[in-house]
Structure 1
Amino acid sequence: MTPSRRGLLAGAGLVGLTAAGPAAASAAAEAATLQATLERYHGFGVKASGGPGDTACGAWLEGELGKLGYACRRQAFEVPFFEPRQATLTCGEAKALVIPQAIVAPTGPPGLTAPLKLASAPGGLAGAIAVLDLPSQRWVAMGGFVAEAVRRGAAGVVLVTNGPTGEAIALNVSTHRPAIDKPVALLAPKDAKPFLAAAAEGRNATLVLDGQGGGAARRPAFNLIARLDRGAAKTLVISTPRSGWFGCAAERGSGLAVWLSLAQWLAKANHGVNVELLATSGHEYEYLGGEHYLAEAAPAPEKTRLWVHIGASAAARDWHELAAGLKPLPSADSQRVLTATADILDPTRAAFRGISGLEATYLADKAMAGGELVNVMNAGYRTAIGLYGSHRYFHTPGDDLRCVSGELAQPVAAAFRAAINDALATAQGLERRREQG
């Protein structure tokens, strides 16, 4: 973990920025506030849905928003979970830690002992632990490749999730599809070589996924909903997920820091709409918390002026990929995508001009509106902005404070303020024209 830079921003550096102009000083002060939020979020540890870190984060946000005057409530639901005691793959002298892939089918302490076999090899996989050496990319969700290996008879599956860091990458999974009833584990590419060689020879290995939960086990989680009711006819909704597989400093923290800064701004500025803020749990289970909110608690589409969704990797650090390893850059990873509905596309593009990745704002349609925004639009919400992305340490345990900073988040927060101002004004103008015929 890198040390805090708040002292630097608040001390001599801020004096110099003040001399340079009030706008620079204001931006630096906001960056320091965002940094404090990032550090607090990171400090809660692992954010797995319904776990101690996720629950503590939700309670902290509830307290912060309550102090700003928001009326808060919790929307309860249940999520799958697994707390590992041991998660290993062993073959002869080779032994590696693995990540149990949800929804976990535990092996118990003895584990599963069977021949390793490459899933790419022809023929069946009956009784084997299938090894899938996946192509290199920034992995997000489980595909049909695991179900296919099980259909071919595999007794267990090990996925080598090749990506930019050499670490194992956890995969989101839906609770609406039948869970895989065989143990599935994620193996880091940096640890994979001896196991790939063993799989090519069909040597025996033991996979242990032992812990609490798994299978049909569920635990409580909650969405946090915070509202400023100003007696207006329509509501502005701003949503962000707070849960994730690991610490999620950049994946979730950067968006959550921007979201909380918008909450602070909207508490002081009346835009002629009610404000409803949503911080969801259950994100890893393909937007489970967001689905519960849409089905049970969200304001109706006709009563919603604008929906803003701040998804993953809103302000993650970029890295050079060199032979010596990943080297951090002071700039943001451009692999983040912004979309907006047609009625507010131009003002949203203008608000994010010059911000890498986000400046190429796309039309929010079924092809481009990623993440939770797809569900929002399918539910009938007509005016919306949504952000999503995947940075290099996305879905890995290495997503810590190295991967994000308040300085990277500050331009995104400022752009969202401008976009919301312009979108609300545009939407209100269009509505007046419709009413006037």
Structure 2
Amino acid sequence: MTTARFSADELYEIVETYASFGNHHTGTPADTQTTAWLTDVLRSLGASVHEDRFEFDRFVCTSELRVAGQVVPALPVFYCAAGEWRTTNLSVVDVDVGIVGNPRGLDLYLDADPDAAALVMAIGGLDDHPVQCNRVPQMPTIPGRPAVIIPGNWADRVRGADAELTFAATAEADRSANVIATLGAADAPAINITTPLTGWTPAAGERGTGLAVALAMASDLAADHHVTLSVCSGHEIDHTGLKHYLASRDVAGWPVVHLGASVGAIEPDSTGPAGLGNQRMVLATASGEVRDEIDRRVLAANWRLRKANPWPGEGGTWFEAGASVLSFLGGSSLFHTTADTAAAATTPQAMALAAEVAIDAARLFLDNHR
């Protein structure tokens, strides 16, 4: 990878390698291995790299839900309770899939049916694949109840049978690190590129595609900009790494390009170019003619320039901190499921198109800051 713009196959290889580390939970061995790999990639591009470490409470849990002796595909709700349980006193609660990216989205559901000893959250989506939900990394101040998430297509089977849940969980002090890199001449115009590092699953489409585009963009823009690339851990637990990074910086007015969820993710039935999914949007603080030019350019990769209040994702965290932000986002039917592998989530052609358009839009955005 020696050219400014990576080839389509090189972009896809980045996604494939990222996903190969497994579930990217913050603070796990997969997180540590990903950090080491990314550091090596950045140094091969000539970047100066360091780790920005932070501490947090990591939720550690084993759980199993059975119906008539059959194991139900289920995931624990993180930070719901600490202790050990074995119970058949369960309540199945239907949950809106729209809340999965909101770290406080499950909070109200966790108060459901106070007579039940444990909760089973049914979330619609890909059959037989539970959809994990983002969480704030804090245990409840009052005794909680064990809770697990199941696929929506299992809800009636669990309701209509004698189900049993075993659950054991605790919170342990742990640490993780953001990867911070700089490229380009120090006296060149500054640009900050950012993308999350962690997630619940292999996250090929959700996280890997954004990381690949961020690397290509950083390499390209470093030709005439001083690039700071911040790849932050803790995304799935309330942007913990990014909040740590921003806590010691005044970013008001900084030009920031955020590569968020599913930047290069495809959908089999998409009408978009290269199969890029239809749930794609760009948010920008740019106005006037620059905004119109960005709008026209991003259409080529099936993005739509939108207005949103509040801004979603880590781009919103930067925006709230006062930065000037261009944010790329997408959606996918594989989102937050273990089916989000490279082979299912994207293609070299989709990656090349997403990277080319995002880089061009970023240059338009930066014209507003000269």
Q: Is the 8 A contact 1:80 1:103 kept in 2?
A: no
Offset at 1:94?
4.3
Q: Is 2:81 the partner of 1:113?
A: no
Question: Which residue matches 1:172?
Answer: 134
> Where does 1:125-274 land on structure 2 (aligned, <5 Å)?
129-135=90-96, 139-141=100-102, 142-149=105-112, 152-175=114-137, 178=140, 181-198=144-161, 203=162, 205-210=163-168, 214-228=169-183, 230-232=185-187, 235-267=190-222, 269-271=223-225, 274=226
Write out per-residue CA displacement over residues 79-121 of structure 1, whole angstroms, 9 at most, x where no aligned residue.
343455x42112444432421111253553xx32132xxxxxx
TM-score of the pair, normalised by structure 1: 0.75
- Equivalence map 1:23-422=2 (5 Å): 30-84=7-61, 86-108=62-84, 111-115=85-89, 129-135=90-96, 139-141=100-102, 142-149=105-112, 152-175=114-137, 178=140, 181-198=144-161, 203=162, 205-210=163-168, 214-228=169-183, 230-232=185-187, 235-267=190-222, 269-271=223-225, 274-296=226-248, 298=249, 300-302=251-253, 304=254, 306-320=255-269, 331-343=275-287, 344-356=290-302, 358=303, 360-363=304-307, 365-367=308-310, 369-381=311-323, 383-401=324-342, 402-422=344-364
Partner AA of 2:151 in structure 1:
A
Give the C-alpha shift of residue 317 in structure 1. 1.5
Aligned counterparts of 2:80 and 2:176: Cα–Cα separation in 1:
18
CA distance in 2, matches of 1:98, 1:70: 41
Check whether the contact 2:74–2:150 (CA below 8 A) recurs between aligned residues.
yes
Residues 138 and 33 (structure 1), Cα distance of their counterparts in 2 relative to 1, 3 Å cut: farther
Match of 1:423 in 2: 365
Q: Tell me the secondary structure at the aligned position of residue 317 of structure 1.
A: coil
**What's the CA shift string for 1:34-81, capped at 9, x where partnerless?**
111111112111111111112111111111212222221111112343
Deviation at 1:373, TM superposition (A): 1.7
* Count of equivalent residues: 359
Change in Cα spacing, 1:232 to 1:148, as seen in structure 2 (3 Å) is same
The runs of 5 or more residues in structure 2 that have no matched partner are none
Letter in structure 2 aligned against 1:112: R
Moved more, 386-395 or 419-428: 419-428
Aligned residue for 2:194, secondary structure, equals strand
Q: 1:206 deviation in Å?
A: 2.3
Give the alignment's Cα RMSD to 1 decimal. Answer: 2.6
Over 3 Å counting, the alpha-carbon distance change for 1:137 and 1:283 in structure 2 is closer
Identity of aligned residues (%): 27
- TM-score if structure 2 supplies the norm length? 0.88
Conserved 8 A contact 1:139-1:161: no
Residue type at the aligned position of 2:10? T
The answer to whether the Cα contact below 8 Å between 2:257 and 2:327 also exists between their aligned partners in 1 is yes
Deviation at 1:216, TM superposition (A): 3.1
The separation in 2 between residues aligned to 1:95 and 1:221, in whole angstroms, is: 32
SS of 1:349 mapped into structure 2: helix
Q: Is 1:237–1:308's contact at 8 Å kept on the other side of the alignment?
A: yes
- Tell me how far apart the structure 2 counterparts of residues 348 and 176 of structure 1 sit (CA, whole Å): 39
For residues 60 and 140 of structure 2, what CA distance do their matches in structure 1 show? Answer: 21
Q: Is 2:76–2:147's contact at 8 Å kept on the other side of the alignment? A: yes
Q: Quick check: 2:184–2:224 contact (8 Å CA) kept in 1?
A: no
Unpaired runs of 5+ residues, structure 1, are 1-25, 116-128, 322-328, 429-437
- d(CA) in 1 for partners of 2:37 and 2:71? 39
1: CA distance, partners of 2:220 / 2:333: 31
| TM-fit CA distance, 1:166 | 4.1
Q: Aligned partners of 2:27 and 2:47: how far apart in 1?
A: 23
Deviation at residue 137 of structure 1 after TM alignment: 5.4
Deviation, 1:197, is 1.2
